[in-house]
Amino acid sequence: MPSTHTRVGMTEATGIVGEFLALKESTDADVLAMQCGDFYEFFADDAELVADELDLTVSQKSSHGSSYPMAGVPLTELTPYVSALVERGYRVAVADQQETEDGHAREITRVVTPGTLLETTDDSAQYLAAVVREEGSGARRSDGTAGDSYGLAFADVTTGQFHVTQLDDADAAATAQTELYKFDPAEVLPGPELRADDAFLDQVRERTDASLTLHSAESFAPARSRHRVREHFGSETLESVGVEGKDAAIRAAGAVLSYVEETGVGTLASVTRLQAYGATDHVDLDATTQRNLELTETMQGGSDGSLFDTLDHTVTSAGARLLRQWIQRPRRDRGELTRRQQSVAALTEAAMAREELRETLDPVYDLERLASKAVSGSADARDLRSVGETLALLDAVADLVDRTGRLAESPLVDVLARIDREAVAALATEVDDALVEEPPGTVTQGGLFRTGHDDDLDVLVESHEEALEWIETLPEREKEKTGITHLSVDRNKTDGYYIQVGKSETDQVPAEYDAIKTLKNSERYTIPELQEREREVLRLEERRHDMEYELFEELRERVAARAELLQDVGRALAELDALASLATHAVRNDWTRPDLSDGRELDVQGGRHPVVEQTTEFVPNDLRLDEERQFLIVTGPNMSGKSTYMRQAALITLLAQVGSFVPARSARVGLVDGIYTRVGALDELAQGRSTFMVEMQELSNILHSATEDSLVILDEVGRGTATYDGISIAWAATEYIANQIQAKTLFATHYHELTALGENIPTVANVHVAADESDGEVTFLRTVRDGPTNRSYGVHVADLAGVPEPVVDRSRDVLDRLREEKAIEVQGGERTNGEESTQVVFDLGSGELNAGETSTSEQQIATDGSQKEAPASDSAGPSLDPETEAVLDELDNLDVNETPPVELMAKVQEWQAELDGE
Ligand code: ADP
Ligand code: MG
């Protein structure tokens, strides 16, 4: 909100600026555009703001002795300026000028906001959301107190989509955030209870780009919302879509409706249908998982290389929008998935028909968006023609499906069967019969209608054209009459119609010619007859423009009245486009139709990563998870392909629940209720959040949310802390998931200690990504095999790198002892009492060597991890090398109090370099 300080003093202003400032006071919009004749003007602070944001020139307006900044745009050009401001997050009020008996009056007619902007340039959906918390009406918490319910409503005024849900379970708050992330709204209206909840609002700010708007608290009141929802959708709707009694959902829905109505952008009527969805309709995908799996955006931020980008072969923007939604919100309903699969399968087989379908759909316009434009009164004649032409294509599409055997017996038929084809054909004909083929882009200048559309218009047009014709043929007649050769009739703004005669012939003009202007080479004249005709033409022209505009508005209203039909057709065509896109991708990439099952299995033969396979010679891999084998510990050297293998499992599952084919030779996918991942920490680091804290928050979320029907992917969990901590957490989490949650899980880890769990817990198994280390080189085979990886891999690398034989042998030896006994003979070490050798135990936690003792129970777990925090790793080993010893010596002898800080820093850097082996 802009500050009001400067405004207080200015309310003194009178005249036009005073009116502006008074209107501005009455709205909570950020910017006001006020109509002044042929312009919309911004004054004072607002002028400065739009000048800054949109490169408008500011001038000074004097008003009663004071001077105010002023900026303006022509009436017809307001829309792009408003859109640009709104896209930058401002809410823009527009005040229009109405003629009244005594002059004119101005009032705010609409407030355009990020969630209600109709002229969007973005292809993806644009949601306005409301979120409400009902305290104490949700499921009981574990401590016995009553939990909260959350109600969510999402409206896309550009397409008329409207979704509501209510969350009542113990995780309702977290799920509400996830839903907000999934819909990625442009604007969020938090309910009264949430306005003081900074934690909640902060999360919304962090996870979405939405503007937060405080809509009046009364609009969230239960009775009022209920009334509004019933009034808009019909009194039976709450019951029939199953939200009756769900107060939080109803309050959110009511608030959204009231906001759309109040902003006055005229799109409310495009919201034709209330769609309620339940918590169990979609696969649970939290924000982290969506990001990690790069569904619509890559970790780097762009959309190139995302799953959607890879999969998208749609030919219409509505089709692309739907496909994106399918990917973001995979389904759990086997019936729906099977229908999509059957359609995709049919389309993969009917190659010719598929291509023909895509060609037929190619010229299809976005009917959902056009319906909203018609409803709000912003559609022009070209928009209506687009509606007509698109509706007319439906028959071609339906014919194609009907006459292609394979498609005719698929559920594609049902997609089309939902539509009233006769109504569609009638409306298409009506529009086509009415409007000329290429109407002008403005609707106030006539030239819109075909002859025969309206008798009165035809009569008017005929007289208009007759009058024009008389003028057009006037030169011929005059030339003949006067014998003048250089004679023409033209029209301009100042002179109206005139006769122009070349200088050399002006002496021949008849007496009735009345000179009106002298130019360098010619003279302009008028004659009474021409003046009379001119008046007639102007009169007819104006009447024609008015009449055409009126007729156009009628036509637009008739189209708007069929908004629901347009939406139905638009959605059906979008569905065909999305399905054809999935089929196209499946065929081009040799994907296979997965078997969907209700069992807890994931059995993939020859699986590939859908995105990586596009750019790499991909080595396919098998994967088997089932009741007896629920949890895989994935080991293997760095860069061998662990992360890819696990993401591949998640993406194949997700694709199966989109209804798509999958990148595999064959696949059997047990449907999951959620996919949870914790992959890598790089992005979090870049955001400056504590890596380990975030890692643990995400782990905590997974452990709370996952069920036995979920798929869990853990990649290097525990890496962000000291080795002992890390192993302990990874170990305990594995036990908990395997024993308590029993979710299907893949866990890639560099803690080879965990492979012991694979050998001891029946449902946990080890697999590793193989690498070939022969011939002095490491070759990544990218093949996943059963069993844990070779543990001395690091030592092997040291060997390959040419570290002298004795050192390599000795490190193997030390490593084995570390793992098995923990006590190592210090070679060459001698005690003063004459004993031959010394034994030490290396404590990984403290990094200290303890002389002599046998291992304590706490030290049963050894590690070969490569953590920096603990100086133990495969290749370095605990038998301290000379460098390390030198560093430790120096550290021991350094007098901290006597050394300047800068020198201390330099010292530490030097040690680090030494320890890194540089
Ligand atoms: P890790 O997690 O084990 O460090 P990644 O999964 O990040 O390894 O993979 C390392 C590289 O290997 C990536 O560039 C990836 O594209 C490639 N890769 C992984 N799996 C395969 C495969 N099956 N076929 C071909 N290339 C692969
Ligand atoms: Mg990895």
Question: What secondary structure does DSSP assign to 472-539, as a single string?
Answer: HHHHHHHHHHH--SSEEEEEETTTEEEEEEEGGGGGG--TT-EEEEE-SSEEEEE-HHHHHHHHHHHH
- Phi and psi torsions of 521, nearest 5°: -110, 0
Give the closest residue (by CA) to ligand 1 atom 19: 641
The response to whether residue 139 sits with its C-beta less than 6 Å from ligand 1 reads no
The tokens describing 245, both together, are: 């009694």
CA distance 164 to 189: 14
Give the closest residue (by CA) to ligand 1 atom 18: 641
The tokens describing 561, both together, are: 């009245």
Q: What is the pLDDT of residue 8?
A: 37
Per-residue model confidence as pLDDT tens digits over 59-113: 888 777 778 899 999 988 888 899 889 988 899 999 999 888 877 889 998 999 9
CA distance 380 to 369: 13
Report which bound ligand comes closest to the CA of 639: 1
Q: Quick one: which atom of ligand 1 is closest to the CA of 636?
A: 3
Give the closest residue (by CA) to ligand 1 atom 4: 639
Amino acid letter for position 524: R
- What pairing do the DSSP bridges indicate for beta strands 710-715 and 674-679? parallel
Instruction: Look at residues 160, 535, 581, 665 and name the one whose alpha carbon lies nearest to residue 373.
Output: 160
854-872: burial string, b at 16+ Cβ within 10 Å, e else: eeeeebebbbbbbbeebbb
The response to whether residue 639 sits with its C-beta less than 6 Å from ligand 1 reads yes
Give the closest residue (by CA) to ligand 1 atom 23: 619
Q: What is the pLDDT of residue 865?
A: 34
Per-residue model confidence as pLDDT tens digits over 176-233: 998 998 898 999 999 999 999 999 999 999 888 899 999 999 999 999 999 999 999 9
Do the Cβ atoms of 535 and 437 come closer than 8 Å?
no
The response to whether residue 619 sits with its C-beta less than 6 Å from ligand 1 reads yes
Quote the ligand 1 centre to 644 CA distance (angstroms).
5
Instruction: Look at residues 194, 198, 94 and name the one whose alpha carbon lies nearest to residue 152.
Output: 194
Q: Taking the model in full, what pTM does it have?
A: 0.80
Give the residues across from 747 on adjacent strands: 633, 714
Report which bound ligand comes closest to the CA of 649: 1
The response to whether residue 616 sits with its C-beta less than 6 Å from ligand 1 reads yes
Q: What is the pLDDT of residue 819?
A: 63
Report which bound ligand comes closest to the CA of 771: 1
The tokens describing 130, both together, are: 């409301």
- Phi and psi torsions of 320, nearest 5°: -65, -40
SS3 of 85-96: HHHCCCCEEEEE
* 10-residue averages of pLDDT along the chain (918 residues): 38 76 91 92 92 86 81 88 89 90 85 88 87 86 82 94 92 88 92 93 89 92 94 89 91 95 86 86 88 89 93 96 95 96 98 97 95 93 96 95 95 94 96 95 91 94 92 92 90 89 90 90 92 92 94 96 96 97 98 96 97 96 96 88 95 98 98 88 49 79 90 85 77 93 93 85 93 71 86 67 82 72 54 51 54 42 35 45 77 74 77 72
CA distance 679 to 749: 11
CA distance 643 to 772: 19
560-597: burial string, b at 16+ Cβ within 10 Å, e else: bebbebbbbbbbbbbbbbbbbbbbbbbbeeebbbbebe
Report which bound ligand comes closest to the CA of 768: 1
Report which bound ligand comes closest to the CA of 715: 2
Do the Cβ atoms of 321 and 573 come closer than 8 Å?
no
Do the Cβ atoms of 754 and 864 come closer than 8 Å?
no
Instruction: Look at residues 850, 194, 205, 315 and name the one whose alpha carbon lies nearest to residue 578.
Output: 315
Amino acid letter for position 33: A
Quote the ligand 1 centre to 796 CA distance (angstroms).
21
Give the closest residue (by CA) to ligand 1 atom 25: 618
CA distance 368 to 386: 12
Q: What is the pLDDT of residue 467?
A: 92
> Ligand 1, residues 611, 612, 746, 784: which to mutate, most atoms within 8 A of Cβ?
612
The response to whether residue 636 sits with its C-beta less than 6 Å from ligand 1 reads yes
Measured CA distances, 495 to 144, 479, 526, 531, 889 (Å): 87, 21, 9, 11, 101
Do the Cβ atoms of 691 and 683 come closer than 8 Å?
no
- Phi and psi torsions of 146, nearest 5°: -75, 135
Q: Which residues surround ligand 2, an ion (CB under 5 A)?
A: 643
CA distance 216 to 71: 31
Measured CA distances, 488 to 154, 314, 529 (Å): 63, 55, 16
Q: What is the pLDDT of residue 855?
A: 38
The response to whether residue 11 sits with its C-beta less than 6 Å from ligand 1 reads no
The response to whether residue 643 sits with its C-beta less than 6 Å from ligand 1 reads yes
CA distance 295 to 325: 10
Instruction: Look at residues 867, 808, 871 and name the one whose alpha carbon lies nearest to residue 842.
Output: 871
Question: CB atoms < 10 A from the CB of 237, how many?
Answer: 17
> Ligand 1, residues 640, 644, 716: which to mutate, most atoms within 8 A of Cβ?
644
CA distance 817 to 222: 70
Residues 6+ apart with CB under 8 A from 234: none
The response to whether residue 642 sits with its C-beta less than 6 Å from ligand 1 reads yes
Give the closest residue (by CA) to ligand 1 atom 20: 641
Do the Cβ atoms of 612 and 644 come closer than 8 Å?
yes
Give the closest residue (by CA) to ligand 1 atom 26: 618
Report which bound ligand comes closest to the CA of 681: 2
CA distance 680 to 693: 13
Do the Cβ atoms of 627 and 732 come closer than 8 Å?
no
Q: What is the pLDDT of residue 637?
A: 81
The response to whether residue 641 sits with its C-beta less than 6 Å from ligand 1 reads yes
